[in-house]
Amino acid sequence: MNLENHPCFNDKVRHLYGRVHLPVAPRCNVQCNFCNRKYNCVNESRPGVTSGILSAEQAIDYLDQVLEIKKNISVVGIAGPGDAFANPDESLETLRLVRNKYPDMILCVATNGLNLEPYAEQLAKVKVSHVSVTINAVDPAITEKIYSWVRDGKRVLRAAQGAKILLEKQIRGIRALKKNGVSVKINSIILPGINDHHMDNIAAKMAELKVDILNCIPYYPNEGANFKDMKEPPAEMVAKVRKAAGKHIRQMHHCTRCRADAVGLLGEIPEARIMEALKSCSSRKTKKDENSDRPYVAVATLEGVLINQHLGEAYRLQIYGRNVNGKIRMVDDRLTPEPGAGDNRWIELAETLKDCRALMVSGIGQNPGKTLAGSGIEVLEIEGLIKDAVERFFTGENMGHLIKRELTKCKAACSGTGAGCG
């Protein structure tokens, strides 16, 4: 294992060695105002995006195939699409499996740092040598502008309180990593008008913590995010920020805003056969499938036959699973939380659906969609027969024909009553 062959930490080798990210961490414990995580978008290159979610076992199968195709992979990393330590069991199991099978591979993890400290020693034991931590401010008054909420254990914290806890835990996590001999990179998103003037302070604090390198990343507008109307910082601002930060700590200048399923050299577009391998592995049954802690799918329906109800109008959801013969069956009928609690309603719903891998609805608002996705529940806006859709979901078959049409002929979303548009 040559630790110098990490392309993100060493600019000199980025054209020689590549990395592969294993998307095994779907849940997130913070909601960034600049983030909108769309799992199945193949046309965007940015954090939080992947074409599939893998279990630890599936990840090893996928890695085997990647290494057959790409001979220059030096790093195996976990970078979401949520946060590695909002999914600690999945992340650590994957890292252990990779280390056992590929003992000379560099292991790397990316995290927001909220739940990092408790796992620093375990990371060191499995010989994770590089960790990237996203820190966008070292002043809680700035941090609270960047995050909608922070989930600390079972507590969901808002604004100032969440910002203070997040920063405290990020710093403790970095200190724990350095104590265990792990190289640390800090990712800081340059958000014009919010923290661009603050990067110098971040750099100074990270230098004090003996961080190895700082990556000042220009914000990229994400449709659906709270900051979707924010403009990408101009090149002059980025250069100025990096120059000021560089007085304190070494800078990374070659970041390509890697996806959660990135493969190959930095900036390289993954080959079609690798993306097909990812999709194939993500739908493959593993030994743990039958005992999965998320064996079900939730459905919003008016009459129990069609997926035809908007989540906001659903006072109950039907829960579907498979019996021992693989047949689809309804296993439960659950009430949704009462309206009037704001975003807490969707946080409570995520807890109600914690054993569900997906939610199928005819429509959903931006906030509930983000909250449920952040809890590892894949949200599918589709129309059609429940049993057909659920069967296709479990078997990994194409569901393109079920994707919900945006508008009906009368320019209004379909009511789902079957009464037509008249």
Look at the pTM and tell me if it is higher than 0.75.
Answer: no
Give 228's pLDDT tier (boundaries 50, 70, 90).
Answer: confident
Q: How high is the pLDDT of residue 422? A: 32
Nearest-CA neighbor of 299 among 397, 377, 224?
Answer: 377
Residues 55, 169 share a domain? yes
Domain hosting 135: range is: 3-282
273 and 300 together in one domain = no
Q: Is residue 346 part of a domain?
A: yes
Both 390 and 326 in one domain: the answer is yes
The strand pair at 183-190 and 128-134 is best described as: parallel
SS3 152: strand
Helix (H, G, I), strand (E, B) or coil at 48: coil
Tell me how crowded residue 71 is: count the other CB atoms within 10 A of its CB. 7
Amino acid at 356: C
Q: Is the residue at 107 inside a domain? A: yes
| 3-class DSSP assignment, residue 203 | helix
Average per-residue pLDDT for the chain: 86
Q: What is the mean pLDDT of residues 140-151?
A: 90
- Contact assessment for residue 171 and residue 114, using Cβ atoms and an 8 Å cutoff: no
Same domain, 298 and 269: no
Q: What is the DSSP string of 54-72?
A: --HHHHHHHHHHHHHH-TT
Per the model's pLDDT, the better-predicted residue between 48 and 217 turns out to be: 217
Mean pLDDT of 44-64: 80
Task: For 253-292, write each residue's pLDDT tens digit.
Answer: 888 788 888 998 888 887 889 988 998 888 776 655 544 6
Whether the CA torsion 168, 170, 176, 178 is positive or negative: it is: negative
**Residue 338 domain-assigned (yes or no):** yes
222 and 102 part of one domain: yes
- Say if residue 316 is in the same domain as residue 260: no
Q: Is residue 411 part of a domain?
A: no
Report which of 262, 206, 348 is spatially closest to residue 80, judged by C-alpha positions.
262
Local confidence band at 405 (pLDDT 50, 70, 90 cut-offs): low
Does residue 103 share a domain with residue 15? yes
Q: How many residues in the chain?
A: 422
Asked if residue 420 is part of any domain, the answer here is: no
Are the beta carbons of 105 and 74 closer than 8 angstroms? yes
- In a domain, residue 301? The reply is yes
pLDDT-derived band at 419 (thresholds 50, 70, 90) equals very low
The C-alpha atoms of residue 322 and residue 316 are separated, in whole angstroms, by 20
Beta bridge partners of 296: 356
226 and 192 within one domain: yes
Is residue 77 located within the same domain as residue 184? yes
**Phi (first) and psi of residue 148, to 5 degrees:** -80, -45
- At 339 the pLDDT is 84
167 falls within a domain = yes
Q: Are residues 219 and 302 in the same domain?
A: no
Which of 311, 321, 296, 282 shows the shortest CA–CA distance to 404? 311
Q: Are 115 and 85 in contact (CB under 8 A)?
A: yes
Residue 407 within a domain? no
Distance (Å, whole) CA 332 – CA 318: 6
CA distance 247 to 214: 11
Instruction: Give 285's Cβ-side CA count (13 Å radius).
Output: 8
- Look at residue 288 in the predicted model and tell me its pLDDT: 55
Q: Which of 229, 254, 282 is the last residue of a domain?
A: 282
278, burial (CB in 10 Å: exposed 0-12, middle 13-18, buried 19+): buried
Query: Which residue in 86, 17, 42 sits closest to 271, CA to CA?
Result: 42
Choosing from 282, 313, 328, the residue where a domain stops is: 282
DSSP string, 372-415: HHHTTPEEEEB-EEHHHHHHHHHHT---GGGBPPS--TTSS---
Q: How far apart are CA 5 and CA 75, in angstroms?
A: 8
Q: Are residues 377 and 358 in contact, defined by beta-carbon separation less than 8 angstroms? A: yes
Give mean pLDDT, residues 113-119: 96
Q: Residue 404: its pLDDT value, please?
A: 65
pLDDT range class, residue 240, cuts 50, 70, 90? very high
Residue 15 and residue 81 in one domain: yes
**Higher-confidence residue: 27 or 194?**
194
Q: What is the CATH number of the domain that holds 191?
A: 3.20.20.70
Residues 247, 101 share a domain: yes
Q: How many structural domains compose the chain? A: 2
What is the CATH classification number for the domain harbouring 368?
Answer: 3.30.420.130
Residue 170 has pLDDT above 70, yes or no: yes
pLDDT at position 155 is 81
